[in-house]
Amino acid sequence: MKVDWQSWSKPSFQKLMSLSLWALMMFLLVQRAPSWIANYRVEGKVVAPFAVVDSSGSPTFFPHQSKKQIIIFWATWCKPCELELDRFDRAVKNQEIAAEDIVAISVGEEPKVVFDEAKIRGYAFAVYADESAASTQSLAVQGTPQVYHVNEEARIAYASMGLSPLSIFRAKAFLSP
């Protein structure tokens, strides 16, 4: 088989688009690889107990023993967080997931800002604030939104960072008896 190098070396719109698409895909893979590796490494580990505050300023400790839960780390300014939390909110309001199984923890923000924003958005699940971001050390949070599935033994069964089209499906499967 003889390759016609002259025709291949001539630029064309289709070749440029194909090359650009491959370059974009490789760039995105390289960008996401560290978070995938970090999520994989944290799965199976026991979550060290940590405290956050509720809207009244009272401390609450997580994870809850002998209870499966979804813990979502978020920030009020994070648009992907807003999208992910809105999807969980719809799932709770549609009774696909129980509200008590979802915990949203905003990290590094003033509690008043967090609870004012949560009130505006009208989330149907519990929202907490961790101004010092100490909870992120226990779970090795890389960014927001970061979702953890924590089982009854306080072990991380699944971890994900960023938007995931399968997050509600995975949550329902994890929480089902």
Instruction: Note the pLDDT tens digit of each residue in 45-71.
Output: 999 999 999 999 999 999 887 899 999
Same domain, yes or no: 21 and 50: no
Looking at the structure, tell me whether residues 47 and 33 fall in a common domain: no
32 and 115: one domain?
A: no
Residues 95 and 170 in one domain: yes
What pairs with residue 88 in β-bridges?
Answer: none
Query: Is 128 in contact with 60 (CB distance < 8 Å)?
Result: yes
Residue 94 and residue 48 share a domain: yes
Encode pLDDT of 29-50 as tens digits: 677 667 667 777 788 899 999 9
Q: What is the CATH number of the domain that holds 86?
A: 3.40.30.10
Are 62 and 134 a contacting pair, CB within 8 Å?
A: no
Angstrom distance (rounded) from CA 161 to CA 173: 18
Same domain, 19 and 52: no
Same domain, 122 and 162: yes
Instruction: Give me the number of domains the chain comprises.
Output: 2
- Only one residue has tokens 């519990």, namely 126
Residues shown for the chain: 177
For residue 20, the 8-state DSSP code is H
Let me know the angle formed at the C-alpha of 107 by 104 and 108, rounded to the nearest 5 degrees. Answer: 160
The answer to whether 81 touches 145, Cβ cutoff 8 Å, is: yes
Residues 66 and 140 in one domain: yes
Do residue 117 and residue 137 come from a single domain? yes
Between 154 and 31, where is the model more confident?
A: 154
CB 115 within 8 A of CB 129: yes
Residues 68, 16 within the same domain: no
Same domain, 55 and 16: no
Q: Whole-model pTM?
A: 0.80
Expressed as residue numbers, the domain containing 14 is 5-40
